[in-house]
A and B are shown apart, each in its own frame.
Chain A
């Protein structure tokens, strides 16, 4: 019995060590990789396909005006641009605001979903919008996002390569100074995008399409059957569908877009719970096809395997913790203390990409941050919180499998538009926040 427990413990620690080694390599890659990302000229007029931007919106009156205003300021040629707002049965002013923009700009269209059809989640709304799309490339932005003016040029440049099926841009937190949760989410994003996604792209692995701030070839997304409404992580689902179909996913770090992060633990729980369940659904669906795939190289398969299982890691760390502690008490041995280290490092990690503390720190360094490092020890809080979230998500999935209830409700993240204050009220910023921004972006 003890031997079996020891073997399980060793297996769990090896699994964690594989992740830690992977992320140590990612960190070194982001820091020192000589080749870096291959850049096309972002303003290359030779390659400018028609682009359709989809913006699904459900009760987003506080933020929809901001992104639509931004859409009118994009530098991409307007004759090749089409913006489709999908009003997902909103009951507030979202529809009216979008219609006002549509009246003034002919490339902005609004499509409405009825109260009966709407509100069934983002994938269903996007599929509805896809019916109206005419562009060669389909880009998606959430309503609370705020992109760079030339973001489309940067994203679209990658599609010059016919093997590229999808492109992902960088997400940065807009309302970072608001609460501790937003600051911790910002740390997670830094490690996840600046190091993790960047390194995966540089090493020719599988960068993840995040469902927003990114684009797909229309032909590909149509051939894949659009977004799957039964999946809670439709973005991960599409990533793996595209990779298994033989297409590449690219990540462009320069294509930045600001998001409004969740501001309290309750919203954090709801959002992460959906991500965890969705990721686990994808893991159950794609692990075997990934192993069998002939379109992927061995390193892509290994990376894909680790990526699919990333939301199981907090659960496994918890298990290893309990098991290791039990073994230490009933059958102490020196090698357990040595293996214990993997658990110790793992608990100081962010969860979405499993970025350990050193990866997050280096991401912040590469971003030119000065003070955010003080929050890194607090990653422990989010990791322990995520242990609960992931365990609950797994239990929910198992229950739904047993009871054969396959539908999971789409928990919409509420956006209250507080990020607007950092965009619109520069004059009103308190000195503390102004200093924060100087720290955030560096001074010149």
Chain B
């Protein structure tokens, strides 16, 4: 009885795979069946990225100017804010600016990211100032210190990921356009 079940299962498996081959029109030379579903991801090359140093230098310049402005406003921005904005600029300039994409888009994303960072810290400070009245300074300090590692970086991770997502999407679009031409 179990043998019969096994045969039925086996035939199902084989049938499924033959259907799969038919549906996907597998090329014999193609090495990767699933990739065929998914448009041949597998290829024997590594898409090496050629760093765009010109863009990176422009990014360094832009970030430096913005940081100089922030440091001159040190009475407005506190240390955690300055540190997190510096980290964001560092990661953005050295990892995203050399990637493929328009310079204007990258500068726009960098400036937008800085604005988000500033707004984030102003909201955080305002929330702190407002909460002192209700929670008391000590309680607020404990809360700030304990959840600090999460709060200080969440905007960096989100905005950095968004920037990378936009660059990747633009790259895909460009590749599509080139193929259409």
Contact = CB atoms under 8 A, between A and B. Distances in A.
Interface of A: 27-28, 31-34, 36-37, 39, 42, 61, 65-66, 69, 73, 75, 93, 96-97, 99-101, 146, 148-151, 174, 253-254, 256, 258, 321, 324-325, 328-329, 334, 337-338, 340-341, 343-345, 347-348, 357-358, 361-362, 364-371, 373-374, 376-377, 379-380, 420, 422-427, 437-438, 440-444
B20 A426 contact: yes
Given A66-B13, A69-B17, A368 B172 contact: yes
A27 B49 CA distance: 12
B129 interface: no
A366 B146 CA distance: 35
B2 A93 contact: yes
22 contacts: A27-B95, A31-B98, A69-B13, A93-B2, A96-B6, A97-B13, A150-B31, A151-B31, A258-B34, A329-B142, A341-B83, A347-B153, A357-B161, A361-B161, A377-B154, A379-B157, A380-B154, A380-B157, A423-B20, A437-B37, A442-B39, A443-B172
Chain B facing A: main interface SS: helix
A337 B83 contact: yes
Contacts of B19: 424, 427
A37 B46 contact: yes
Contacts of A321: 149
Given A32-B98, A96-B5, A361-B160, A370 B172 contact: yes
Contacts of A420: 16
Contacts of B50: 32
B105 interface: no
B39 A443 contact: yes
A433 B60 CA distance: 40
Given A32-B48, A442-B172, A344 B152 contact: yes
Interface of B: 2-3, 5-7, 9-10, 13-14, 16-17, 19-20, 23-24, 31-35, 37-42, 44, 46-51, 79-80, 83-84, 87, 91, 95, 98-99, 141-142, 145-146, 148-150, 152-154, 157-158, 160-162, 164-165, 167-169, 172, 176, 179
A149 B33 contact: yes
B22 to A, nearest CB: 10
A65 B38 contact: no
A377 B161 contact: yes
B95 A362 contact: yes
Contacts of B162: 373-374
Given A32-B98, A65-B9, A365-B164, 8 more contacts: A73-B33, A97-B6, A328-B148, A344-B152, A361-B164, A365-B167, A377-B158, A422-B34
B44 A254 contact: yes
Contacts of A101: 10
B172 A423 contact: no
Given A337-B80, A340-B148, A365-B99, A441 B39 contact: yes
Nearest to B34: A258
B47 A366 contact: yes
A209 to B, nearest CB: 21
Contacts of B87: 341, 345
Contacts of A345: 87, 153
The 6 closest A-B pairs by CB, nearest first: A441-B38, A96-B6, A65-B13, A441-B41, A424-B16, A373-B165
A127 B9 CA distance: 29
A149 B32 contact: yes
B49 A32 contact: yes
Contacts of B146: 325
B161 A149 contact: no
B24 A370 contact: no
Contacts of A423: 16-17, 20, 33-34, 37
Given A174-B34, A347-B150, A438-B38, A357 B157 contact: yes
Contact of B41 (A37, A146, A358, A368): A368
Contact of A148 (B31, B49, B168): B31
Contacts of B169: 370
Contact of B165 (A100, A374, A379): A374
Contacts of A357: 157, 160-161
A50 to B, nearest CB: 21
Nearest to B94: A28
A392 to B, nearest CB: 21
B39 A31 contact: no
